[in-house]
């Protein structure tokens, strides 16, 4: 039986709930010299930009609204991706709450000549749906069908609680 993430304020009853597969996004790009550092590896900032874009596309497909990035969780780069290789980004919505949603973006390198593929990063981003006046708007719920989707949504709830605590700490820090 499909299930939606239904914590307190989640829009579980909305009729427009969607499956993660409906918004799943894959981006493939060749790493060009302009994207690289002097060692011939893609710049971390370029990877972060692509992660933001891939994540945003998946979330736009889920919400069909304007979005802002609210948070990006700690990011690691396990392997360099060199000029001439492909960078592949797979983005999938893991949880949808009232006006915010989380997307997982997996990053892979693929050697053009051998096809060798390696996972290089996994990122979790939170986007918030807004209208043209900057007001937050409710979003469709996420239909959870598989055990893996249910596990990922439960993990996303835990990450969300941590992010909101981190945001409170940042707000309390203040100062200019």
Quick one: 97 or 108, whose CB is closer to ligand COA? Answer: 97
Quick one: 88 or 152, whose CB is closer to ligand COA? Answer: 152
Nearest distance in Å: CB 31, ligand COA: 25
Task: Give the binding site for ligand COA (CB under 6 A).
Answer: 9, 68-71, 97-100, 126, 128, 136, 160, 163-164, 167
Quick one: 81 or 144, whose CB is closer to ligand COA? Answer: 144
Nearest distance in Å: CB 150, ligand COA: 19
Nearest distance in Å: CB 137, ligand COA: 10
DSSP for 39-80 reads TSBB-HHHHHHHHHHHHHHHHHHHH-SEEEEEEE------S-
Distance CA 78, CA 84 (A): 18
Nearest distance in Å: CB 44, ligand COA: 18
Closest residue to ligand COA using C-beta atoms: 97
Query: CB-hemisphere CA count at 13 Å for 43?
Result: 11
Nearest distance in Å: CB 114, ligand COA: 37
In this structure, are residues 72 and 103 in contact, taking their beta carbons and an 8 Å threshold? no
Quick one: 107 or 128, whose CB is closer to ligand COA? Answer: 128
The tokens describing 102, both together, are 């989380």
Quick one: 19 or 136, whose CB is closer to ligand COA? Answer: 136
DSSP for 128-170 reads EEE-TTS-B-----EEE-SHHHHHHHHHHHHHHHHHHHHHHHH
Radius of gyration of the chain (CA): 17
């Amino acid at each position: 039986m499909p299930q939606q993430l239904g914590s307190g304020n989640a829009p579980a009853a909305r009729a427009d709930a969607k499956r993660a597969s409906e918004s799943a996004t894959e981006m493939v790009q060749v790493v060009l010299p302009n994207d690289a550092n002097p060692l011939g590896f893609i710049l971390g900032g370029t990877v972060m930009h692509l992660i933001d874009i891939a994540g945003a596309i998946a979330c736009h497909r889920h919400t069909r609204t304007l979005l802002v990035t609210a948070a990006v969780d700690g990011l690691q780069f396990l392997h360099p991706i060199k000029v001439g290789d492909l960078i592949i980004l797979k983005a999938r919505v893991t949880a949808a709450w009232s006006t915010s949603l989380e997307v997982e973006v997996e990053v892979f390198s693929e050697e053009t000549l051998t096809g060798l593929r390696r996972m290089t990063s996994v990122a979790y981003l939170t986007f918030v749906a807004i209208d043209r006046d900057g007001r937050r708007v409710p979003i469709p719920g996420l239909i959870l069908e598989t055990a893996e989707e249910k596990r990922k949504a439960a993990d996303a709830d835990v990450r969300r609680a941590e992010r909101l605590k981190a945001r409170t700490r940042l707000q309390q820090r203040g100062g200019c």
